[in-house]
Protein backbone atom coordinates (compact mmCIF):
# COMPACT_ATOMS: atom_id res chain seq x y z
CA UNK A 1 0.00 0.00 0.00
CA UNK A 2 1.24 3.45 -0.89
CA UNK A 3 2.09 5.57 2.15
CA UNK A 4 -0.97 7.53 3.31
CA UNK A 5 -1.02 10.84 5.15
CA UNK A 6 -3.38 11.17 8.12
CA UNK A 7 -4.23 14.33 10.07
CA UNK A 8 -5.59 14.04 13.60
CA UNK A 9 -7.51 17.06 14.87
CA UNK A 10 -7.71 17.70 18.64
CA UNK A 11 -9.41 20.58 20.44
CA UNK A 12 -9.58 19.50 24.09
CA UNK A 13 -7.70 17.64 26.81
CA UNK A 14 -10.42 14.97 26.68
CA UNK A 15 -10.41 14.19 22.98
CA UNK A 16 -6.61 14.09 22.87
CA UNK A 17 -6.66 11.47 25.62
CA UNK A 18 -9.02 9.36 23.52
CA UNK A 19 -7.13 9.89 20.27
CA UNK A 20 -3.65 9.25 21.64
CA UNK A 21 -3.70 5.40 21.48
CA UNK A 22 -4.79 5.68 17.84
CA UNK A 23 -2.20 8.33 17.06
CA UNK A 24 0.55 6.17 18.56
CA UNK A 25 -0.37 3.23 16.32
CA UNK A 26 -0.18 5.44 13.24
CA UNK A 27 3.09 7.05 14.35
CA UNK A 28 4.67 3.62 14.79
CA UNK A 29 3.50 2.29 11.42
CA UNK A 30 5.62 2.49 8.26
CA UNK A 31 2.51 2.78 6.14
CA UNK A 32 1.53 6.26 7.28
CA UNK A 33 2.71 9.80 7.67
CA UNK A 34 0.93 11.80 10.35
CA UNK A 35 0.15 15.33 11.45
CA UNK A 36 -1.62 16.55 14.58
CA UNK A 37 -3.60 19.78 14.34
CA UNK A 38 -3.90 21.18 17.87
CA UNK A 39 -6.45 23.93 18.56
CA UNK A 40 -9.42 24.86 20.77
CA UNK A 41 -9.11 24.73 24.55
CA UNK A 42 -5.55 23.44 24.15
CA UNK A 43 -4.42 26.95 23.27
CA UNK A 44 -6.00 28.83 26.18
CA UNK A 45 -3.84 29.59 29.23
CA UNK A 46 -6.97 29.71 31.39
CA UNK A 47 -7.42 25.98 30.81
CA UNK A 48 -3.79 25.11 31.36
CA UNK A 49 -2.37 25.55 27.82
CA UNK A 50 -2.76 21.82 27.27
CA UNK A 51 -1.11 21.92 23.85
CA UNK A 52 2.02 21.32 25.92
CA UNK A 53 0.68 17.83 26.68
CA UNK A 54 0.94 17.02 22.98
CA UNK A 55 4.51 18.28 23.04
CA UNK A 56 5.40 16.17 26.06
CA UNK A 57 4.49 12.98 24.21
CA UNK A 58 7.26 13.70 21.74
CA UNK A 59 5.25 13.99 18.52
CA UNK A 60 7.20 15.66 15.74
CA UNK A 61 4.55 16.72 13.27
CA UNK A 62 2.11 18.87 15.17
CA UNK A 63 0.78 22.35 14.49
CA UNK A 64 -0.86 24.66 17.05
CA UNK A 65 -3.61 27.00 15.84
CA UNK A 66 -5.33 29.46 18.17
CA UNK A 67 -8.96 29.59 17.07
CA UNK A 68 -10.37 31.68 19.92
CA UNK A 69 -9.86 33.95 22.88
CA UNK A 70 -11.55 33.59 26.26
CA UNK A 71 -14.63 35.47 25.03
CA UNK A 72 -15.13 34.17 21.48
CA UNK A 73 -18.65 32.91 20.70
CA UNK A 74 -19.13 29.34 19.53
CA UNK A 75 -20.18 30.23 15.98
CA UNK A 76 -17.07 32.39 15.52
CA UNK A 77 -14.87 29.61 16.95
CA UNK A 78 -16.30 27.28 14.31
CA UNK A 79 -15.65 29.83 11.58
CA UNK A 80 -12.08 30.47 12.75
CA UNK A 81 -11.34 26.74 12.93
CA UNK A 82 -12.66 26.14 9.43
CA UNK A 83 -10.40 28.89 8.07
CA UNK A 84 -7.28 27.75 9.92
CA UNK A 85 -7.74 24.04 9.32
CA UNK A 86 -8.59 24.59 5.65
CA UNK A 87 -5.28 26.38 5.12
CA UNK A 88 -3.43 23.61 6.97
CA UNK A 89 -5.08 20.83 4.97
CA UNK A 90 -4.20 22.50 1.68
CA UNK A 91 -0.58 22.64 2.84
CA UNK A 92 -0.18 18.97 3.85
CA UNK A 93 -2.70 17.32 1.43
CA UNK A 94 -3.86 14.47 3.72
CA UNK A 95 -5.57 11.30 2.56
CA UNK A 96 -7.62 11.15 5.76
CA UNK A 97 -8.77 13.41 8.59
CA UNK A 98 -9.46 11.75 11.96
CA UNK A 99 -11.76 13.54 14.40
CA UNK A 100 -13.42 12.63 17.66
CA UNK A 101 -16.75 13.21 19.32
CA UNK A 102 -18.99 16.24 19.25
CA UNK A 103 -17.01 19.45 19.68
CA UNK A 104 -16.94 22.39 17.28
CA UNK A 105 -13.40 21.60 16.19
CA UNK A 106 -14.47 18.12 15.09
CA UNK A 107 -17.35 19.63 13.13
CA UNK A 108 -14.89 21.96 11.40
CA UNK A 109 -12.70 19.01 10.50
CA UNK A 110 -15.65 17.11 9.02
CA UNK A 111 -16.73 20.12 6.98
CA UNK A 112 -13.23 20.62 5.56
CA UNK A 113 -12.87 16.94 4.69
CA UNK A 114 -16.29 16.75 3.09
CA UNK A 115 -15.83 19.90 1.02
CA UNK A 116 -12.34 18.89 -0.15
CA UNK A 117 -13.04 15.22 -0.98
CA UNK A 118 -10.83 13.94 1.83
CA UNK A 119 -11.86 10.83 3.74
CA UNK A 120 -13.12 11.72 7.23
CA UNK A 121 -12.96 9.13 10.01
CA UNK A 122 -15.16 9.89 13.01
CA UNK A 123 -14.37 8.32 16.38
CA UNK A 124 -17.33 7.57 18.71
CA UNK A 125 -20.20 8.74 16.57
CA UNK A 126 -23.74 7.47 17.06
CA UNK A 127 -24.01 8.37 20.74
CA UNK A 128 -26.69 10.43 22.45
CA UNK A 129 -26.69 13.14 25.09
CA UNK A 130 -28.99 15.92 26.18
CA UNK A 131 -27.36 19.11 24.86
CA UNK A 132 -26.20 20.90 21.72
CA UNK A 133 -23.39 18.31 21.60
CA UNK A 134 -25.79 15.66 20.32
CA UNK A 135 -26.90 17.38 17.09
CA UNK A 136 -23.29 18.43 16.49
CA UNK A 137 -22.20 14.79 16.81
CA UNK A 138 -24.91 13.65 14.38
CA UNK A 139 -24.02 16.43 11.92
CA UNK A 140 -20.42 15.20 12.03
CA UNK A 141 -21.68 11.69 11.26
CA UNK A 142 -23.42 12.85 8.09
CA UNK A 143 -20.25 14.62 6.93
CA UNK A 144 -17.97 11.66 7.73
CA UNK A 145 -17.19 8.68 5.51
CA UNK A 146 -15.82 6.15 8.01
CA UNK A 147 -17.13 5.52 11.52
CA UNK A 148 -15.23 3.95 14.41
CA UNK A 149 -17.91 3.45 17.06
CA UNK A 150 -17.83 2.21 20.65
CA UNK A 151 -20.62 -0.37 20.57
CA UNK A 152 -23.45 -1.92 18.57
CA UNK A 153 -26.02 0.57 19.87
CA UNK A 154 -24.02 3.39 18.28
CA UNK A 155 -23.66 1.35 15.08
CA UNK A 156 -27.41 0.80 14.89
CA UNK A 157 -28.09 4.51 15.30
CA UNK A 158 -25.77 5.25 12.39
CA UNK A 159 -27.57 2.67 10.27
CA UNK A 160 -30.87 4.40 11.08
CA UNK A 161 -29.22 7.67 10.02
CA UNK A 162 -28.60 6.22 6.56
CA UNK A 163 -24.91 5.32 6.86
CA UNK A 164 -23.35 2.42 4.95
CA UNK A 165 -22.99 -0.70 7.09
CA UNK A 166 -19.61 -1.61 5.58
CA UNK A 167 -18.17 1.75 6.62
CA UNK A 168 -19.01 1.34 10.32
CA UNK A 169 -16.50 -0.41 12.59
CA UNK A 170 -17.15 -1.31 16.24
CA UNK A 171 -13.82 -0.95 18.07
CA UNK A 172 -14.78 0.25 21.56
CA UNK A 173 -13.79 3.51 23.23
CA UNK A 174 -10.05 4.28 22.84
CA UNK A 175 -9.63 5.85 26.27
CA UNK A 176 -10.50 2.56 28.01
CA UNK A 177 -7.26 1.20 26.59
CA UNK A 178 -5.42 4.00 28.41
CA UNK A 179 -7.44 3.41 31.58
CA UNK A 180 -6.43 -0.24 31.78
CA UNK A 181 -2.78 0.42 30.98
CA UNK A 182 -0.34 -0.59 33.71
CA UNK A 183 1.81 2.46 32.98
CA UNK A 184 -0.56 5.00 34.56
CA UNK A 185 1.19 7.10 37.23
CA UNK A 186 0.80 6.18 40.89
CA UNK A 187 -1.47 8.18 43.16
CA UNK A 188 1.54 9.52 45.07
CA UNK A 189 3.11 10.70 41.82
CA UNK A 190 -0.05 12.57 40.89
CA UNK A 191 -0.54 14.07 44.34
CA UNK A 192 3.04 15.31 44.41
CA UNK A 193 2.83 16.72 40.87
CA UNK A 194 -0.33 18.72 41.61
CA UNK A 195 0.35 19.30 45.32
CA UNK A 196 -2.87 17.54 46.29
CA UNK A 197 -3.32 17.40 50.05
CA UNK A 198 -6.33 15.10 50.32
CA UNK A 199 -6.11 11.41 51.11
CA UNK A 200 -9.84 10.91 50.63
CA UNK A 201 -11.77 12.91 48.06
CA UNK A 202 -14.49 13.05 45.40
CA UNK A 203 -14.21 14.70 41.97
CA UNK A 204 -16.44 17.56 40.83
CA UNK A 205 -16.79 18.61 37.17
CA UNK A 206 -19.71 20.74 35.98
CA UNK A 207 -20.08 22.00 32.40
CA UNK A 208 -22.49 24.69 31.17
CA UNK A 209 -25.60 23.58 29.32
CA UNK A 210 -25.96 26.08 26.49
CA UNK A 211 -29.77 25.99 26.56
CA UNK A 212 -29.91 26.75 30.32
CA UNK A 213 -27.92 29.99 30.46
CA UNK A 214 -30.50 31.90 32.50
CA UNK A 215 -30.51 29.26 35.23
CA UNK A 216 -26.76 28.61 35.27
CA UNK A 217 -25.76 31.04 38.03
CA UNK A 218 -28.32 29.60 40.44
CA UNK A 219 -27.41 26.05 39.42
CA UNK A 220 -23.72 26.39 40.23
CA UNK A 221 -24.45 28.36 43.44
CA UNK A 222 -26.82 25.66 44.71
CA UNK A 223 -24.53 22.79 43.75
CA UNK A 224 -21.42 24.26 45.40
CA UNK A 225 -23.39 25.01 48.57
CA UNK A 226 -24.38 21.33 48.70
CA UNK A 227 -20.74 20.34 48.29
CA UNK A 228 -19.69 22.67 51.11
CA UNK A 229 -22.40 21.33 53.43
CA UNK A 230 -21.35 17.74 52.74
CA UNK A 231 -18.00 18.48 54.44
CA UNK A 232 -16.16 16.18 52.05
CA UNK A 233 -13.01 16.91 50.08
CA UNK A 234 -13.35 17.71 46.39
CA UNK A 235 -10.86 17.83 43.55
CA UNK A 236 -12.42 20.24 41.08
CA UNK A 237 -11.59 20.63 37.38
CA UNK A 238 -12.66 23.61 35.28
CA UNK A 239 -15.52 23.11 32.79
CA UNK A 240 -15.15 23.12 29.03
CA UNK A 241 -15.27 26.50 27.28
CA UNK A 242 -18.89 26.44 26.11
CA UNK A 243 -20.94 29.58 26.62
CA UNK A 244 -21.53 30.03 30.35
CA UNK A 245 -18.17 28.65 31.47
CA UNK A 246 -17.16 32.05 32.90
CA UNK A 247 -20.07 31.89 35.34
CA UNK A 248 -18.93 28.50 36.59
CA UNK A 249 -15.25 29.42 36.76
CA UNK A 250 -15.98 32.59 38.73
CA UNK A 251 -17.84 30.54 41.34
CA UNK A 252 -15.14 27.87 41.49
CA UNK A 253 -12.40 30.45 41.93
CA UNK A 254 -14.27 31.86 44.93
CA UNK A 255 -13.74 28.48 46.66
CA UNK A 256 -9.96 28.39 46.30
CA UNK A 257 -9.36 29.24 49.96
CA UNK A 258 -11.87 26.70 51.23
CA UNK A 259 -10.19 23.78 53.01
CA UNK A 260 -12.32 21.13 51.28
CA UNK A 261 -11.61 22.19 47.70
CA UNK A 262 -8.61 21.99 45.40
CA UNK A 263 -9.31 23.53 42.01
CA UNK A 264 -7.45 22.99 38.75
CA UNK A 265 -7.91 24.51 35.28
CA UNK A 266 -6.87 21.18 33.76
CA UNK A 267 -5.27 17.88 34.75
CA UNK A 268 -3.18 15.72 32.44
CA UNK A 269 -5.33 12.89 31.07
CA UNK A 270 -3.38 9.98 32.56
CA UNK A 271 -3.04 11.81 35.88
CA UNK A 272 -6.76 12.49 35.94
CA UNK A 273 -7.47 8.80 35.38
CA UNK A 274 -5.36 7.92 38.41
CA UNK A 275 -7.28 10.46 40.51
CA UNK A 276 -10.58 9.07 39.26
CA UNK A 277 -9.52 5.52 40.03
CA UNK A 278 -8.85 6.40 43.68
CA UNK A 279 -11.80 8.73 44.24
CA UNK A 280 -14.83 7.95 46.40
CA UNK A 281 -17.25 9.20 43.75
CA UNK A 282 -17.63 11.75 40.96
CA UNK A 283 -20.33 14.43 40.89
CA UNK A 284 -21.44 16.94 38.25
CA UNK A 285 -22.53 16.51 34.65
CA UNK A 286 -19.40 15.30 32.88
CA UNK A 287 -19.56 12.25 30.63
CA UNK A 288 -16.76 10.86 32.83
CA UNK A 289 -19.43 10.09 35.40
CA UNK A 290 -21.32 8.04 32.81
CA UNK A 291 -18.49 6.35 30.93
CA UNK A 292 -15.07 6.23 32.59
CA UNK A 293 -16.33 5.97 36.17
CA UNK A 294 -17.94 2.60 35.41
CA UNK A 295 -14.61 1.12 34.28
CA UNK A 296 -13.04 1.87 37.68
CA UNK A 297 -16.23 0.93 39.58
CA UNK A 298 -16.58 4.50 40.90
CA UNK A 299 -20.14 5.63 41.70
CA UNK A 300 -21.44 8.83 40.15
CA UNK A 301 -23.96 11.58 40.86
CA UNK A 302 -25.21 12.98 37.55
CA UNK A 303 -26.84 16.39 37.89
CA UNK A 304 -29.30 17.88 35.42
CA UNK A 305 -29.96 17.33 31.72
CA UNK A 306 -26.54 17.36 30.08
CA UNK A 307 -26.21 13.57 29.87
CA UNK A 308 -29.86 12.93 29.04
CA UNK A 309 -30.36 9.59 27.23
CA UNK A 310 -26.77 8.48 27.80
CA UNK A 311 -26.06 4.86 28.73
CA UNK A 312 -26.76 4.36 32.42
CA UNK A 313 -25.26 1.92 34.92
CA UNK A 314 -26.17 0.80 38.42
CA UNK A 315 -23.68 3.11 40.09
CA UNK A 316 -25.28 6.37 38.92
CA UNK A 317 -27.71 8.54 40.87
CA UNK A 318 -29.51 10.92 38.51
CA UNK A 319 -30.75 14.10 40.19
CA UNK A 320 -32.23 17.42 39.15
CA UNK A 321 -30.90 20.78 40.36
CA UNK A 322 -32.88 20.78 43.60
CA UNK A 323 -30.38 21.27 46.48
CA UNK A 324 -32.17 18.84 48.77
CA UNK A 325 -32.01 16.09 46.15
CA UNK A 326 -28.32 16.76 45.51
CA UNK A 327 -27.52 16.61 49.24
CA UNK A 328 -29.48 13.38 49.63
CA UNK A 329 -27.61 11.87 46.69
CA UNK A 330 -24.25 12.71 48.30
CA UNK A 331 -25.35 10.89 51.45
CA UNK A 332 -26.58 7.86 49.51
CA UNK A 333 -23.63 7.53 47.15
CA UNK A 334 -21.36 6.21 49.91
CA UNK A 335 -23.24 2.90 49.89
CA UNK A 336 -23.32 2.49 46.11
CA UNK A 337 -21.35 -0.15 44.23
CA UNK A 338 -20.72 -0.41 40.49
CA UNK A 339 -20.70 -3.48 38.25
CA UNK A 340 -18.75 -2.86 35.01
CA UNK A 341 -20.58 -3.84 31.81
CA UNK A 342 -17.90 -3.33 29.12
CA UNK A 343 -20.56 -1.34 27.25
CA UNK A 344 -17.87 0.86 25.70
CA UNK A 345 -15.43 -1.99 25.04
CA UNK A 346 -13.01 -4.04 27.08
CA UNK A 347 -10.05 -1.74 26.44
CA UNK A 348 -7.61 -4.39 25.24
CA UNK A 349 -7.50 -4.13 21.44
CA UNK A 350 -9.17 -0.90 20.30
CA UNK A 351 -6.04 0.66 18.81
CA UNK A 352 -5.01 -2.68 17.25
CA UNK A 353 -8.37 -2.94 15.49
CA UNK A 354 -8.06 0.68 14.36
CA UNK A 355 -4.65 0.21 12.73
CA UNK A 356 -5.66 -3.12 11.17
CA UNK A 357 -8.61 -1.42 9.50
CA UNK A 358 -6.40 1.42 8.26
CA UNK A 359 -3.97 -1.13 6.81
CA UNK A 360 -6.72 -2.67 4.68
CA UNK A 361 -6.33 -1.28 1.16
CA UNK A 362 -10.08 -1.55 0.56
CA UNK A 363 -10.67 1.15 3.16
CA UNK A 364 -8.88 3.68 1.00
CA UNK A 365 -11.18 2.91 -1.92
CA UNK A 366 -14.21 4.25 -0.03
CA UNK A 367 -15.82 7.00 -2.06
CA UNK A 368 -15.99 10.53 -0.68
CA UNK A 369 -19.36 10.86 -2.42
CA UNK A 370 -21.96 9.94 0.19
CA UNK A 371 -25.49 8.70 -0.34
CA UNK A 372 -28.28 8.15 2.14
CA UNK A 373 -29.10 4.46 2.61
CA UNK A 374 -32.88 4.03 2.91
Residue 13's pLDDT band, with cuts at 50, 70 and 90, is confident
Give the pLDDT score at 84. 97
Give the pLDDT score at 86. 98
**Residue 347 pLDDT more than 90?**
no
> pTM here?
0.92
Are 4-178+347-365 and 187-333 in the same CATH fold?
Answer: yes
**146-194 pLDDT per residue, tens:** 999 999 999 999 999 999 999 999 999 999 999 988 889 999 999 999 9
**22-63 pLDDT per residue, tens:** 999 999 999 999 999 999 999 999 998 999 988 888 998 999
| Alpha helices for 44-186 (secondary structure H) | 51-56, 74-92, 104-115, 133-143, 152-160, 174-179
Identify the residue with better confidence: 114 or 308: 114
Torsion sign across C-alpha atoms 189, 47, 23, 175? positive
Average pLDDT for 230-235 = 97
CATH number of this structure's domain 4-178+347-365: 3.40.50.2000
**Residue 241 pLDDT more than 90?**
no
Average pLDDT for 259-263 = 98
Average pLDDT, the chain: 94
**Residue 374 pLDDT more than 80?**
yes
DSSP state letters, 45-76: GGGT-THHHHHHTT-SSEEE-----TT--HHH
d(CA 35, CA 62): 6
Average pLDDT for 206-219 = 92
Give the pLDDT score at 187. 97
**Residue 266 pLDDT more than 80?**
yes
Local structure of 40: helix, strand or coil = helix
Give the pLDDT score at 264. 97
**268-302 pLDDT per residue, tens:** 999 999 999 999 999 999 989 988 999 999 999 99
Residue 130's pLDDT band, with cuts at 50, 70 and 90, is low
Give the pLDDT score at 308. 75
Q: What angle do CA 32, 33, 38 make, to 5 degrees?
A: 125
User: 60 Cβ partners below 8 Å, 6+ apart?
Assistant: none
Task: Identify the CATH assignment for 187-333 out of 3.40.1110.10, 3.40.50.2000, 3.20.20.150, 3.30.1330.60.
Answer: 3.40.50.2000
Domain regions of the chain by residue span: 4-178+347-365, 187-333
Backbone angles phi, psi at 209, to 5 degrees: -100, 115
**Residue 318 pLDDT more than 80?**
yes
Residue 311's pLDDT band, with cuts at 50, 70 and 90, is confident
CB 124 within 8 A of CB 150: yes
**Residue 313 pLDDT more than 80?**
no
d(CA 353, CA 169): 9
Amino acid sequence: MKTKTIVFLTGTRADFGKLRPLIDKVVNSKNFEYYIFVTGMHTLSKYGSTYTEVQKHGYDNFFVFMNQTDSTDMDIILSNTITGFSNFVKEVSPDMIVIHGDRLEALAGAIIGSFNNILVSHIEGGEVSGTIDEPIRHAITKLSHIHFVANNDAKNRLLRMGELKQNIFVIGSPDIEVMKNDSLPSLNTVKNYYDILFNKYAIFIFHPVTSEQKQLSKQIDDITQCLIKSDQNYIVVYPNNDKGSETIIKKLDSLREHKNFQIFPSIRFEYFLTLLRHSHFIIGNSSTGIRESEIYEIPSINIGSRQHNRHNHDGIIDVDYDPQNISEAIKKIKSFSVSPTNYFGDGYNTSDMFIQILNNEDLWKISTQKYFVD
